[in-house]
Amino acid sequence: MDKVRLKVLQGEEYLDRPITTSDISRPALEFAGYFKHYPAMRIQLLGITETSFAKDLTHEKRKKYLTKMCAPQTPCFVISTNLPIPEELAEAAKNTHIPILGTHLTSSQILSNMTSYLLGRLAPRQSLHGVLVDINGVGVLITGDSGVGKSETALELVRRGHRLVADDRVEVYARDEQTLVGTAPAILKHLMEIRGIGIIDVSTLYGTGAIMPSDNINLIVHLETWTPDVQFDRLGDRGDTQTIQGVIIPKVSVPVKTGRNLAIIIESAAMNYRAETMGYDATKTFDENLNRLIKSNSARDTKEKEQHEH
C-alpha cells in the first residue's frame, strides 16, 4: 500500500478481499439513489465532490445509499484528501466487513496511482525464455536457443555498467496497447546461471545498481548460430517485429560466430534504436549518401563523355 500512498482507516482484518478489476468507481448517481448499473466489484473512491454531495442528503438517505454501496463483492472504499469517514459509511462497512482506506492525495492523484498499480498487478502474465537487460534506458530482451550465450552476453553487459532485470525466464505483461513490461520471477530475482560456474547473485557481485525490478521491453535481439546458408539483415532496413500480448516490438537477429563481441553489438543495437526513436535513421543516411555518390558519378561520366565527343 506504500506504493499507492494508502493507509488503513478501518477494517484492517478484512484486507484479504479480492480485487478483480483495475477500474475504479467514483460514485455519483448512487447518491441520487440510482443503482441499476452500480459497479459493485470496483474499488469505490470518495473525494471532496462525493462527500460534499452526501452531506447535503438527510441522514436516512445517506445511510440507505451507503449501506447499498457496501455490496458483498465490493473490495474496499478509498477516501482521498484526508477527508473524514462519513459516519454512515463507517457503520455499513463494519457490518459488511469492507475495509476503508485513506490518503492525503487528491482524488485524481490516487486514481492515477491505483489504476497504474492494478493494471500491472492484474494484467495477464506470459513467461518467455530469454534475458532482459536495461541498456542506457532501453529495455532489451535477448532471445535465442539454449546455450547460444544469452546469459554470458548479459553478464558482460552488466560488467559494462548496464542493469539486469531477469535471466532465463522473463515474465511479461502489457501495461497498455503500446507498452510491454518484463520482470523476473520471484525465485530468480537478481540471479543468473552461467555455464561452468553455476548460479551467481548479480546484486551481491556488482551492487544494487546492477539490477532493476522491472523494465519496459523496447527491443528484441535474437541470437542465432551463424551458418553460411542463412542470410542476415546487413543494412537494418528489413523492419522485423515480434508481437507479444498484442504489443509490437522491433526485432533484430544477430548471428553468433566465434570472435564476435555480442555485448558490444547488442549495446550498439540499443543505442541505434534510441537514435531512431529520436528521428535519426542510419540506414536512410546511408541510402542518401549512396544516391548522392551515384548521381555525382553519373554527372562526371556524362561530362567526360561530352568532352570526349568534342
Q: Which three cell numbers stand for residue 283?
A: 540506414
Q: Is residue 240 annotated as involved in ligand binding?
A: no
- CA–CA dist 189, 167 (Å, integer): 8
- CA–CA dist 222, 230 (Å, integer): 14
Angle formed at CA 182 by CA 177 and CA 183, multiple of 5 degrees = 145
Q: Which three cell numbers stand for residue 216?
A: 519496459
Q: Is residue 215 annotated as involved in ligand binding?
A: no
Q: Is residue 151 annotated as involved in ligand binding?
A: yes
- CA–CA dist 167, 201 (Å, integer): 11
- Which residues, in sequence order, are CB contacts of 124 under 8 Å at separation 6+? 173, 245
Q: Is 61 a catalytic residue?
A: no
Tell me how crowded residue 257 is: count the other CB atoms within 10 A of its CB: 11
Catalytic-labelled residue, pool 7, 97, 121, 129:
129
How deeply is 91 buried, as exposed, middle or buried, from its count of CB atoms within 10 A (0-12, 13-18, 19+)? middle
Distances in whole angstroms, Cα of residue 230 to Cα of each of 150, 210, 226, 254, 256: 20, 35, 7, 11, 12
Catalytic-labelled residue, pool 42, 62, 150, 190:
150
Q: Is 215 a catalytic residue?
A: no
Catalytic-labelled residue, pool 36, 55, 195, 234:
234
Q: Is residue 102 annotated as involved in ligand binding?
A: no
Q: Which three cell numbers stand for residue 124?
A: 495477464
Distances in whole angstroms, Cα of residue 243 to Cα of each of 41, 184, 238: 32, 20, 16
Cβ atoms of residues 163 and 212 within 8 Å: yes
Q: Which of the 8 DSSP states describes residue 3?
A: G
259 φ/ψ sector (left φ>0, alpha ψ -120 to 50, else beta): left
Q: Is residue 55 annotated as involved in ligand binding?
A: no
Q: Is 129 a catalytic residue?
A: yes
Catalytic-labelled residue, pool 5, 63, 68, 168:
168
Q: Is 150 a catalytic residue?
A: yes
Q: Side chain identity at 304, as an amino acid letter? A: E
Q: Is residue 201 annotated as involved in ligand binding?
A: no
Q: Is residue 149 annotated as involved in ligand binding?
A: yes
- CA–CA dist 242, 220 (Å, integer): 8
Q: Which of the 8 DSSP states describes residue 85?
A: P
Binding residues for Mg(2+): 151, 193
Binding residues for ATP: 144-151
Binding residues: 144-151, 193
User: Which residues does the annotation mark as catalytic?
Assistant: 129, 150, 168, 234
